[in-house]
Amino acid sequence: MLAEKHADRINKIFAKYPDKRSGVMDLLYLAQEEYGWLTEDALREVADLVDIDPTQAHSIAGFYTMFSEKPKGKYWLQVCTDLPCALRGADTFYRELCAYLGVEDGGTTDDGLFTVEQVMCLAACDRAPMMQCNFHFHEHLTIEAAKELIEKLRVQAQPETQEDGGA
b/e sequence 86-103, b meaning 16+ C-beta within 10 Å = bebebeebbebbbeebeb
121 binds ligand FES (CB under 6 A): yes
143 binds other proteins (CB under 8 A): no
Residues 10-29 that bind other proteins (CB under 8 A): 16-19, 21-26, 28-29
Whichever of 69 and 91 has its CB closer to ligand FES, that residue is 91
Helices (H), the chain: 2-5, 7-15, 24-35, 40-50, 54-63, 83-86, 90-101, 143-166
Q: For residue 108, what is the DSSP state? A: B
Piece of the chain touching ligand FES by CB under 6 A; list 6-14, 17-25, 81-89, 147-155: 81-89
Candidates 82, 95, 112, 133: give the one binding ligand FES (CB under 6 A).
Answer: 82
Q: Which of 140, 144, 138, 137 is nearest to 129 (CA)?
A: 140
Candidates 35, 54, 72, 82: give the one binding other proteins (CB under 8 A).
Answer: 82
Task: Compute the least distance from the CB of residue 92 to ligand FES, in Å.
Answer: 14
Piece of the chain touching ligand FES by CB under 6 A; list 79-87, 92-100, 101-109, 145-153: 79-87
Q: Which of 139, 64, 153 is nearest to 101 (CA)?
A: 153
Gyration radius of the chain over CA positions? 18
126 binds other proteins (CB under 8 A): yes
Residues that bind ligand FES (CB under 6 A): 80, 82, 84-85, 121-125, 128, 130
